[in-house]
Structure 1
Amino acid sequence: MQKAMEAVQADLSAKEIEVSSGGGAVKVVVDGHGAVKSLKLDGEFLKEGAEVVESAILEAINEACAKAKSESEAEMSKITGGFSMPGLF
C-alpha cells in the first residue's frame, strides 16, 4: 500500500490541472496537490479595475485548488478503499 501511495503522490505532482476565469482572461495551472504552477493574465483584462482582476484570479485559484483536492482524494480513496487516513490528504 505504501508503494501505491508513493506512486499516486508522484502522479499527482506531475499532473496539471488548468482552470480559467474572467471569460478566459485568467488561467491558472496547479499540480495534483494544489500547488500553483503558473498564472497567465490577458493584457487587455489588466485594464479592468483591480477588484475585477483580483476577483477573477482568486476564483481561478480556488477552483483549481478545489479540483486538485477532489482528484487527490479520489486517487487516494482508490488505494485506501475509502478508509480515512488523517494527515495524508
Structure 2
Amino acid sequence: MSGSFGEMGNLLAQAQKMQKSLEEAREELRDARIEGGAGGTCRATVDGMGNLHSVAIAEGAPAPGSDDLNELVLLAVQAAQRQAQKQHEERMAKVTGGMNLPGLL
C-alpha cells in the first residue's frame, strides 16, 4: 500500500512541474513579438497569444480608408496571428510532450 502513496506523490510532483512549465511557457508567449506582413507595405505585430500590439503602414501603401489598405491590414494581422498560433502550439507541445490537454493550454 505504501507503494501507491509513493506513486501518488510522484504523480503530484510531475503535475506540479508541468504546471510550472506551462506558466513559464505562457509568460514567454505573452512576451514574444511575432510579425506578419502583406503587400510589402503593411506589417502587424502580435504576441505569442495572438493579441495585436501594432500595425505599421509604409509609405507607398494604398490611401487611408481604401478597401485595398483595409485588406492589407487584415492580411498582415492574419499572417501574424497564424505565426503566433504555430509558435504557441510548438511551445506547448514541448511542455506537454505532445499530449493534447484540453483546458490547460
TM-score (norm 1): 0.88
Bigger CA radius of gyration: 2
Distance 2:46 2:26 in 1: 14
Q: CA deviation at 1:45?
A: 1.3
Q: CA deviation at 1:50?
A: 1.3
Structure with more of its chain in helix, by fraction: 2
Q: Which of 31, 35, 42 in structure 2 is aligned with 1:14?
A: 31
Distance 1:32 1:8 in 2: 10
AA of the residue aligned to 1:14: D
Distance 1:33 1:87 in 2: 15
* 3-state SS, counterpart of residue 86 of structure 2: helix
Q: Residue 64 in 1 paired to residue 80 in 2?
A: yes
Gaps of 5+ in 2: 1-17
Aligned CA-pair RMSD: 1.6
Matched with 2:60 is: 44
AA of the residue aligned to 2:23: E
Q: Aligned pairs, how many?
A: 88
Do the aligned partners of residues 7 and 54 (structure 1) sit closer, same or farther apart at CA in structure 2, a change above 3 Å counting? same
- Deviation >3 Å, runs of 4+: none
Larger displacement relative to structure 2 (47-56 or 11-20): 47-56
Query: Is the Cα contact below 8 Å between 2:62 and 2:68 reproduced in 1?
Result: no
Query: Is the Cα contact below 8 Å between 2:32 and 2:48 reproduced in 1?
Result: yes
Q: CA deviation at 1:35?
A: 0.3
Distance 1:47 1:77 in 2: 42
